[in-house]
């Protein structure tokens, strides 16, 4: 282990946080962050830390208090307020009870918060209360877990860490573990211990100071690593991520076939499954491990700690000998494998208590981690962050399992223990209990996204939970939009250079999006060009320039979407929204090239609505008028048309906007946000509609579709 403590940094933490929070909590926060920075110790909200200190009550008297990490927070980014304050004396009284349900424990913890609005404390808060040391650290160190997940786990721990460590068999986290830990700590034979290992769970260290507890953690985990290096055989040593073109090609071909199968069923007749985001874990070393004989025996086993269950499910899915070069056979293999996994999961639920209800909704039976020899791992999540967390856990887990297998037979938690923790309300609450945004898990591709309308549509989709591929011609305009949206919606934006008039560019762009998130659910065909000229003066080259983008570009994108939706399957369906124009229905003089080519694009979309309906895909059109700008970005259409229209009418820019506002029935200014709302109406499937055109023009009788 790398020892990261710095006295200078510790002093800086005290100087920064101490005046408001006190020296003890400042140092507690500093050392907690050090632990969180090392993925070999904790991952994504795992582990917990605490400090005991004095707190002044309303009477000005100093009373003992426990400050413990709030449930689910990430140690690496913890702030002082992330350690929730509780009345210590009242918590310690709970140790006298023989039992305590989860509801009773949560109620007791919340009653004794020092601030009624604080977050829920860690599930291990009572461990930190019942153990006397002032500073306590708990991690899920990979090396320690590798020792404990073997048939002779206790012996390996004692041999590796020495006599000054207490070893406890697995106990249910929460009150039972807190009682068992306190009893072991106070046993006469354990006097002087500097740490405790919970088999198949993790390690705890303590000290009178933050530095002392941190030192003990680094020392003991380092001993475990050294022991493994000496004793384990056939180890798989983690290596840096390596880009592998063949593996990525395979992922792009596998993901759309797999995505529908691993997306859970939801109510409603219009969409039968909620799309999941798929993220690949493509590493040469991981692929080598999966291709090695005997790996399946220890890879398809429970996670290293019950804390990971809500992210990865009890077991990964293993697919034998995937037929990567035979798409239909591969589809059959994946479908059969997922169906078998779901059937086995249903049997697991039945064996362990019937329905597995959490908050009134059953936990779905589909895998979150799929192991594919010759490719790597594919991880599924409700969004990119959840899928990335599953990937990180999978990488660490397979490395630790390989180490454990090097010591002997791998042994995970018993099935009943897995079930109890997977479906425990306190664990499921870490995933969040609020309603999901309507486009959660969906992937949208927006063409022409660097302009006013395109960027507005991207923002609207992102606000509703969509993952958005922002596509346009490469350059500063695209880069700027991607940067702005990525800051506001991290993890759900990818910028993809795309020339819609080039078939190769379209194909590569779609491969990039599928490679990022596993599939596509929504295509917004928005890219377009305008040109001002009378028919008498319109050059053939100018017309062809618009035709290539507005017609051929629309055709190429519609073709790519149609092919992808066919591969992805009817279970997920899909949506296409073409950004049309009022000029399809009410063309303007000197606007023949634009009106004619957009009318052709509109007609292609109408035909697509007929052809794609059997796939469960809906195709609709939005026809806006007079959108000038959005977020400081001028509409490309109006950059082309505006100057001519201003000259023709003797108006300045504001006057031109007023003119277009005054000509519609509602006297409304039409914005990119209005267009985005129309797109969202179709994308969120408010009505069973396809082949429709929704005007967004304030009311123009001549342009009303008929």
Query: How many CB atoms sit inside 10 A of residue 48's CB?
Result: 29
Packing angle of the helix pair 452-463, 476-488 (nearest 10 deg): 20
pTM of the model: 0.90
According to the model, what pLDDT value does residue 344 have? 95
According to the model, what pLDDT value does residue 269 have? 53
According to the model, what pLDDT value does residue 263 have? 92
Q: Tell me the two tokens of residue 544.
A: 């062809």
Say which residue the tokens 């990039």 belong to: 512
Q: Distance between CA atoms of 619 and 110, rounded to whole angstroms?
A: 51
Q: Distance between CA atoms of 701 and 687, rounded to whole angstroms?
A: 24
What are phi and psi for residue 62, nearest 5 degrees?
A: -85, 125
Q: What angle do CA 121, 122, 124 make, to 5 degrees?
A: 125
Residues of the chain with pLDDT under 50: 235, 237-242, 358-361
Q: How many CA atoms lie within 13 A of 595 on its CB side?
A: 17
According to the model, what pLDDT value does residue 359 have? 41
Q: Tell me the two tokens of residue 76.
A: 């690496």
Q: Using an 8 Å Cβ cutoff, are 4 and 30 in contact?
A: no
Each residue of 594-646: pLDDT tens digit? Answer: 999 999 999 999 999 999 999 999 999 999 998 877 777 766 666 666 666 66
**C-alpha dihedral, 25 to 28 to 29 to 33, nearest 10°:** 180
According to the model, what pLDDT value does residue 646 have? 67
Q: Which residues contact 228 (CB under 8 A, 6 or more apart)?
A: 143, 146, 147, 160, 235, 403, 406, 407
According to the model, what pLDDT value does residue 300 have? 95
What are phi and psi for residue 302, nearest 5 degrees?
A: -60, 160
Q: Are strands 135-139 and 202-207 parallel, antiparallel or unpaired?
A: antiparallel
Examine the residue annotation and report whether 594 is marked as an active-site residue of this protein.
yes
According to the model, what pLDDT value does residue 361 have? 44
Q: Which residues contact 232 (CB under 8 A, 6 or more apart)?
A: 146, 403, 404, 406, 407
Q: Distance between CA atoms of 82 and 69, rounded to whole angstroms?
A: 6
Q: What domains, with CATH codes, occur in the chain?
A: 7-231 (3.40.225.10), 245-428 (3.40.225), 443-635+671-695 (3.40.50.720)
Say which residue the tokens 């650290």 belong to: 137
According to the model, what pLDDT value does residue 595 have? 95
Burial (CB count within 10 angstroms: exposed 0-12, middle 13-18, buried 19+), residue 270: exposed
Q: Distance between CA atoms of 433 and 413, rounded to whole angstroms?
A: 27
Q: How far is CA 193 from the centre of its chain?
A: 40
Q: Tell me the two tokens of residue 695.
A: 């005007």
Radius of gyration for the chain, computed over Cα atoms and rounded to the nearest angstrom: 30
Say which residue the tokens 């004989």 belong to: 293
Q: Using an 8 Å Cβ cutoff, are 68 and 126 in contact?
A: no
Query: How many CB atoms sit inside 10 A of residue 430's CB?
Result: 17
Q: Tell me the two tokens of residue 198.
A: 């919970």
Q: In what order do the strands lie in the sheet with 617-624?
A: 493-497, 467-472, 443-446, 522-525, 574-579, 617-624, 693-696
Q: Distance between CA atoms of 209 and 52, rounded to whole angstroms?
A: 10
Q: Distance between CA atoms of 584 and 434, rounded to whole angstroms?
A: 43
Q: Using an 8 Å Cβ cutoff, are 116 and 101 in contact?
A: no
Q: Distance between CA atoms of 617 and 523, rounded to whole angstroms?
A: 11
Q: Which residues contact 435 (CB under 8 A, 6 or more apart)?
A: none
Q: Tell me the two tokens of residue 366.
A: 């589909």
Phi-psi category of residue 71: left, alpha or beta, with phi > 0 → left and psi -120 to 50 → alpha: beta
Q: Using an 8 Å Cβ cutoff, are 521 and 443 in contact?
A: yes
Q: What angle do CA 460, 466, 470 make, to 5 degrees?
A: 75
Q: What angle do CA 702, 705, 706 make, to 5 degrees?
A: 95
Query: How many CB atoms sit inside 10 A of residue 663's CB?
Result: 14
Q: Distance between CA atoms of 54 and 66, rounded to whole angstroms?
A: 8
Q: Tell me the two tokens of residue 202.
A: 């993790």
Q: Are strands 135-139 and 83-87 parallel, antiparallel or unpaired?
A: unpaired
Dihedral sign from CA coordinates of 502, 555, 527, 464: negative
Q: How many CA atoms lie within 13 A of 266 on its CB side?
A: 14
What are phi and psi for residue 50, nearest 5 degrees?
A: -155, 165
Q: Are strands 165-168 and 62-69 parallel, antiparallel or unpaired?
A: unpaired
Q: How far is CA 423 from the centre of its chain?
A: 21
According to the model, what pLDDT value does residue 422 have? 85
Q: Name beta bridge partners: 370.
A: 317, 378
Q: Tell me the two tokens of residue 27.
A: 């140092």
Q: Tell me the two tokens of residue 413.
A: 């938690």
- Three-state DSSP class for residue 307: helix
Q: Using an 8 Å Cβ cutoff, are 88 and 52 in contact?
A: yes
Instruction: Say which of 214, 345, 594, 660 is annotated catalytic.
Output: 594
Q: Are strands 165-168 and 277-281 parallel, antiparallel or unpaired?
A: unpaired
Q: Distance between CA atoms of 130 and 278, rounded to whole angstroms?
A: 42
According to the model, what pLDDT value does residue 59 have? 83
Each residue of 493-520: pLDDT tens digit? Answer: 999 999 999 999 999 999 999 999 999 9
Q: Distance between CA atoms of 94 and 566, rounded to whole angstroms?
A: 59
Q: Which residues contact 60 (CB under 8 A, 6 or more apart)?
A: none
Q: Distance between CA atoms of 135 and 210, rounded to whole angstroms?
A: 6
Q: Using an 8 Å Cβ cutoff, are 571 and 613 in contact?
A: no
Q: Using an 8 Å Cβ cutoff, are 441 and 374 in contact?
A: no
């Amino acid at each position: 282990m790398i020892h990261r403590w710095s006295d200078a940094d510790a002093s800086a933490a005290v100087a920064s946080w101490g005046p408001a929070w006190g020296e003890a909590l400042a140092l507690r926060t500093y050392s907690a962050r050090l632990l969180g920075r090392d993925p070999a110790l904790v991952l994504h909200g795992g582990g917990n830390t605490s400090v005991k200190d004095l707190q002044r009550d309303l009477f000005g008297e100093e009373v003992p208090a426990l400050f413990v990490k709030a449930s689910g927070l990430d140690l690496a980014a913890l702030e002082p307020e992330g350690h929730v304050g509780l009345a210590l004396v009242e918590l310690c009284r709970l140790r006298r009870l023989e039992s305590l349900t989860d509801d009773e424990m949560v109620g007791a913890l919340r009653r004794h918060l020092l601030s009624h609005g604080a977050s829920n404390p860690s599930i291990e808060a009572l461990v930190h209360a019942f153990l006397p040391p002032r500073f306590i650290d708990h991690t899920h160190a990979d090396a320690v877990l590798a020792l404990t997940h073997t048939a002779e786990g206790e012996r390996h721990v004692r041999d590796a860490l020495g006599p000054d460590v207490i070893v406890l068999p697995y106990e249910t986290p929460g009150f039972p573990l807190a009682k068992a830990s306190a009893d072991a700590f106070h046993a006469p034979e354990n006097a002087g211990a500097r740490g405790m290992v919970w088999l198949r769970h993790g390690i705890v260290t303590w000290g009178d100071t933050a530095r002392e507890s941190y030192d003990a953690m680094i020392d003991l985990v380092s001993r475990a690593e050294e022991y493994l290096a000496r004793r384990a055989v056939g180890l798989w040593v983690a290596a840096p991520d390596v880009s592998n073109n063949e593996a990525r090609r395979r992922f792009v071909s596998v993901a759309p076939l797999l995505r529908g199968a691993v997306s859970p069923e939801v109510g409603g007749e219009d969409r039968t499954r909620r799309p999941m985001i798929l993220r690949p874990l493509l590493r040469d070393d991981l692929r080598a491990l999966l291709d090695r004989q005997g790996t399946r025996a220890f890879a398809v086993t429970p996670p290293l700690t019950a804390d990971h269950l809500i992210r990865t499910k009890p077991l990964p899915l293993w697919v034998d000998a995937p037929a990567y070069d035979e798409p239909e056979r591969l589809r059959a293999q994946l479908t059969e494998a997922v169906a078998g996994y779901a059937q086995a999961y249903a049997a697991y639920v039945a064996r362990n208590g019937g329905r597995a209800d959490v908050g009134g909704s059953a936990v779905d039976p589909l895998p979150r981690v799929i192991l594919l020899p010759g490719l790597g791992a594919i991880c599924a999540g409700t969004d990119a962050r959840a899928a990335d967390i599953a990937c990180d856990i999978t990488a660490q887990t397979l490395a630790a399992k390989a180490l454990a297998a090097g010591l002997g037979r791998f042994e995970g938690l018993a099935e009943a223990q897995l079930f109890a923790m997977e479906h425990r309300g306190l664990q499921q609450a870490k995933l969040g209990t609020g309603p999901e945004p309507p486009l959660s898990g969906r992937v949208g591709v927006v063409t022409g996204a660097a302009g006013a309308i395109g960027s507005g549509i991207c923002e609207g989709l992102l606000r509703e939970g969509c993952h958005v591929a922002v596509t346009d011609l490469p350059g500063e305009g695209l880069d700027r939009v991607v940067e702005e949206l990525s800051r506001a919606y991290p993890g759900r934006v990818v910028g993809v250079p795309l020339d819609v008039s080039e078939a190769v560019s379209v194909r590569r762009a779609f491969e990039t999006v599928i490679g990022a998130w596993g599939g596509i659910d929504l295509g917004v065909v928005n890219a377009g060009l305008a040109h001002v000229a009378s028919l008498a003066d319109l050059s053939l080259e100018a017309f062809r320039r618009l035709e290539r983008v507005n017609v051929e570009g629309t055709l190429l994108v519609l073709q790519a979407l149609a092919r992808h939706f066919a591969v992805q399957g009817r279970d997920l369906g899909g949506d296409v929204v073409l950004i049309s124009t009022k000029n399809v229905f009410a063309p303007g003089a000197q606007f023949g090239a634009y009106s004619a080519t957009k009318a052709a694009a509109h007609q292609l979309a109408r035909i697509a609505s007929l052809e794609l309906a059997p796939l469960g895909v809906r195709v609709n059109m939005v026809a806006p008028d007079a959108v000038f700008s959005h977020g400081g970005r001028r509409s490309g259409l109006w950059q082309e048309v505006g100057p001519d229209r201003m000259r023709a009418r003797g108006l300045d820019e504001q006057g031109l906007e007023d003119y277009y506002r005054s000509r519609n029935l509602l006297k409304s200014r039409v914005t990119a946000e209005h267009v985005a709302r129309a797109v969202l109406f179709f994308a969120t499937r408010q009505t069973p509609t396809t082949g429709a055109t929704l005007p967004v023009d304030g009311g123009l009788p001549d342009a009303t579709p008929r």
